[in-house]
């Protein structure tokens, strides 16, 4: 414990700790700049969506610059990024009453605002410190994520260049990496630190956003504030950001408890990754699946699209909940009609971001929002055709805005999936129970709670149709929670029926489909659980004994998945000796020679000239210079490019050409290949010598001039080929 305390002091006293402060202040400033718009969109929330303002404050200016860059109107630079934020702030505060409304919010809701800001800062600092104990951008797919981030930082014109297939642009969901680059450009925080601070920011947003959603839903459902709403918000935040499934309890806690009690001979060790690789692995079958969840993502710190999209999908859920709750206090939906066009347009913008960040999330939240608008319309009209007509207006706006905004992205993106097919296997029910038992328990309990409430409503209705009576007299937050629960259950069922085909074979045929769909199911279930537990307990006021029993049962159901961080965090983040502490510098794992090479390119290589380095297999440390700089190389991680391009012919040709350049004694042949790929720099270092046993170092030096050399003998050759790499992604 003393070692951790010493590291925390070193974290706070680090000479670059001011970057953390700047990062947080930038988030706060973005939120303040876009608070007037957020207050209009979250009218149904008691706190007017304060926590969501920073998400909109980042995404809207970033999207604006991205559109201008994609259309060739203005480049992505720190200056245009700052101007877009400034213009957004001016527009937000240009409307009459904006300043007065913001002042009124701070005056009347200061307690809620301070609590949420405190939660955000505490979570940001906590996870930044945890990351500082193992900040290396190495392992799993971090090379890919950091490469996308650096490629975006170097790109003035969108889409960014593919750092692992020179001459092509990224053919993957890169928008999340781009808005991370946007934030890095705004703050001037170096990319390797920005990577780790973004992981910490996503964790902080995964704490504060569900807290806000559930707290506001509970306040609206019972027309009261106080501890119950706060408790529900905290529960949702804990289950979403720090919770796991029941796997660590069944295979970790229980066996170890039995051993300590003398009822088992041995105490098996528990490895935290097993909770995300269970179906198909224990027992071993030919149906290997993936069922990750946010905490696992935060622990391993892969900056993937599904992680970057967490604040986006939570904002969509928040907009949906607020739209459903925007009504007068005396009636579930109120009598005055205001079409939710502003909410639909804003949600359409966020859906476009979701498509480009992690496209699997787009249809999920599109249908959830369709459900919100349909419920609003059905509650107002006795006639189904009239209700459907009213539903069409916001639904069409939602769909139109989102599809128009993604057109520049779709124009440069080639779909690499192979259609939807029937699954070849199904999950055993007992394994599904271990993975989803506690979430389904909360959802089923809430459905039962609503069923009893529905009986009372139907018994008291007078002259109203059943559906309309239920919709008008059921509190809107209850309907929202039920809808999220139903969506989550559907997301569990879909991978048991169909899958989206990719390059992986039969053994892993539905792994990615299950992964992407159940990831969102986990998020939705966490919101439902946080809302359902206090709501149900509050409904048992007249039965004190039942209330205590149900509270204990819910407490146990919530506590079991909270055992996961006890295994996962220490499993990945063993405190290093103080002398080896790297703070948040993510590239310190590179060898001294490779760090020197990367620094040379950062100082001397403007734009995106093509470099040549050793290619290699995915999940390896090959492609390390292109990853760390964002400079394109002819070929990087082979299997990833195969996935993104849908074929291997071009990859195999490039693989052969790279080997020929490094091993060739024929200068003319090498020059022809250098011209083919417009290679400006050739790297010769540890990986190249490892990859190519017969590397012709002297021949390579004759292809240009050695512009940099490390004490250990690694060097960079600037070729005498002066044909620059072309394309709209190159900085001038």
**Chain segment 623-671, per-residue pLDDT in tens:** 999 999 999 999 999 999 999 998 899 999 999 999 999 998 888 889 9
732: pLDDT strictly greater than 70: no
330: pLDDT strictly greater than 60: no
Instruction: Return the pLDDT at 1.
Output: 59
Q: What is the mean pLDDT of the chain?
A: 93
Helix/strand/coil for 592? helix
Q: How far apart are CA 109 and CA 118, in angstroms?
A: 14
Of all residues in the chain, the percent with pLDDT exceeding 90 is 83
- Name the DSSP class of 605: -
Instruction: Return the pLDDT at 577.
Output: 94
Of all residues in the chain, the percent with pLDDT exceeding 70 is 96
Q: How far apart are CA 117 and CA 470, in angstroms?
A: 37
pLDDT tens per residue across span 506-551? 999 999 999 999 999 999 999 999 999 999 998 887 788 888 999 9
Query: For residues 539 and 121, which has the higher predicted lDDT (pLDDT)?
Result: 121
pLDDT tens per residue across span 138-164? 999 999 999 999 999 999 999 999 999
Q: What b/e string do you get for 523-552 counting C-beta neighbours within 10 Å, with b at 16 or more?
A: bbbbbbbbbbbbbbbeebeeeeeebeebee
pLDDT tens per residue across span 422-434? 999 999 999 999 9
Instruction: Return the pLDDT at 334.
Output: 39
pLDDT tens per residue across span 347-358? 999 999 999 999
The end-to-end CA distance of the chain, in Å, is 51
What backbone torsions phi and psi does residue 284 show, to the nearest 5 degrees?
-70, 125
Q: What secondary structure does DSSP assign to 293-319, as a single string?
A: -HHHHHHHT---HHHHTHHHHHHHHHH
What backbone torsions phi and psi does residue 570 show, to the nearest 5 degrees?
-70, -25
Q: Map out the domains of the chain as residue ranges.
A: 19-108, 136-188+590-732
**Confidence category of residue 723, pLDDT binned at 50, 70, 90:** low
336: pLDDT strictly greater than 60: no
What number is the average pLDDT over the span 437-442?
Answer: 97
Instruction: Return the pLDDT at 261.
Output: 87
Fold (CATH) for 136-188+590-732 = Rossmann fold (3.40.50)
Long-range CB contacts for residues 616-620, cutoff 8 Å, separation at least 24 = 616/687, 616/691, 619/139, 619/140, 619/141
Instruction: Mention every residue, 6+ apart, whose C-beta is less than 8 A from residue 458.
Output: 466, 469, 470
Radius of gyration for the alpha carbons in the chain, expressed in angstroms and rounded = 27
Q: How far apart are CA 444 and CA 409, in angstroms?
A: 40
């Amino acid at each position: 414990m003393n070692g951790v305390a010493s590291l925390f002091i070193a974290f706070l006293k680090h000479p670059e700790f001011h970057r953390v402060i700047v990062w947080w202040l930038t988030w706060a400033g973005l939120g303040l700049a876009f608070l007037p718009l957020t207050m209009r969109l979250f009218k149904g929330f008691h706190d007017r969506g304060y926590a969501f303002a920073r998400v909109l404050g980042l995404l809207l200016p970033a999207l604006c610059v991205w559109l201008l860059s994609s259309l060739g109107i203005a480049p992505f630079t720190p200056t245009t990024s700052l101007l877009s934020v400034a213009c957004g702030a001016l527009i937000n505060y240009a409307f009459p009453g904006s300043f007065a409304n913001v002042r009124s919010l701070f005056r009347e809701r200061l307690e809620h605002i301070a609590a949420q800001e405190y939660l955000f800062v505490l979570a940001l600092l906590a996870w930044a410190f945890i990351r500082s104990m193992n900040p290396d951008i190495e392992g799993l797919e971090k090379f890919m994520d950091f490469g996308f981030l650096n490629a975006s930082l170097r790109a003035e014109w969108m889409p960014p260049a593919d750092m692992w297939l020179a001459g092509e642009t990224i053919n993957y969901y890169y928008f999340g990496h781009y808005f991370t680059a946007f934030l890095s450009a705004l703050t001037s925080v170096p990319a390797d630190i920005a990577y780790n601070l973004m992981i910490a920011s996503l964790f902080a947003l995964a704490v504060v956003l569900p807290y806000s959603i559930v707290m506001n839903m509970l306040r609206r459902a019972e027309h009261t504030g106080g501890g119950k709403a706060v408790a529900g918000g905290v529960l949702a935040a804990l289950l979403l950001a720090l919770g796991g499934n029941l796997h660590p309890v069944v295979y970790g806690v229980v066996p170890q408890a039995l051993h300590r009690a003398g009822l088992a001979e041995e105490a098996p060790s528990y490895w935290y990754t097993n909770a995300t690789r269970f179906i198909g692995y224990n027992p071993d079958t030919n149906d290997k699946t993936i069922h990750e969840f946010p905490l696992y993502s935060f622990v391993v710190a892969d900056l993937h699209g599904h992680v970057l999209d967490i604040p986006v999908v939570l904002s969509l859920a928040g907009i949906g909940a607020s739209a459903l709750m925007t009504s007068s206090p005396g009636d579930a939906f109120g009598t005055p009609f205001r079409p939710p066009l502003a909410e639909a347009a804003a949600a359409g913008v966020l859906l476009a971001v979701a498509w480009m960040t992690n496209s699997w999330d787009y249809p999920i939240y599109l249908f959830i929002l369709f459900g919100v608008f349909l419920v609003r319309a059905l509650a107002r009209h006795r006639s189904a055709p009239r209700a459907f007509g009213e539903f069409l207006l916001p639904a069409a706006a939602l769909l139109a805005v989102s599809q128009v905004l993604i057109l520049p992205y779709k124009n440069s993106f080639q779909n690499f999936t192979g259609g939807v097919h029937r699954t070849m296997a199904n999950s055993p029910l007992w394994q599904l129970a271990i993975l989803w038992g506690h979430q389904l328990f909360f959802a089923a309990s809430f459905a039962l709670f609503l069923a009893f409430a529905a009986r009372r409503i139907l018994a008291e209705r007078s002259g109203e149709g059943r559906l309309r009576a239920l919709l008008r007299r059921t509190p809107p937050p209850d309907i929202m929670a039920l809808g999220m629960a139903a969506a989550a259950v559907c997301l569990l069922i879909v991978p048991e029926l169909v899958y989206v085909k990719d390059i992986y074979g039969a053994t892993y045929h539905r792994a990615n489909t299950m992964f992407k769909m159940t990831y969102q199911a986990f998020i939705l279930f966490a919101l439902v659980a946080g809302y359902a537990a206090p709501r149900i307990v509050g409904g048992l006021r007249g039965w004190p004994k039942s209330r205590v029993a149900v509270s204990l049962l819910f407490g146990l159901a919530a506590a079991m998945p909270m055992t996961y961080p006890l295994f996962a965090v220490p499993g990945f983040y063993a405190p290093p000796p103080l002398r080896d502490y790297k703070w948040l510098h993510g590239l310190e794992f590179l060898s001294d020679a490779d760090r020197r090479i990367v620094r040379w390119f950062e100082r001397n290589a403007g734009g995106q000239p093509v470099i040549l380095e050793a290619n290699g297999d995915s999940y390896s440390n090959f492609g390390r210079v292109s990853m760390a700089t964002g400079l394109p190389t002819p070929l990087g991680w082979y299997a990833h490019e195969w996935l993104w391009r849908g074929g291997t012919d071009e990859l195999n040709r490039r693989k052969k050409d790279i080997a020929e350049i490094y091993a060739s004694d024929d200068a003319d042949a090498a020059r022809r290949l250098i011209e083919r790929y417009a290679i400006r720099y050739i790297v010769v270092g540890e990986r190249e010598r490892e990859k190519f046993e017969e590397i012709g170092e002297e021949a390579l030096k004759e292809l240009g001039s050695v512009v940099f050399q490390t004490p250990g003998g690694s060097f960079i050759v600037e070729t005498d080929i002066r044909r620059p790499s072309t394309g709209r992604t190159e900085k001038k």
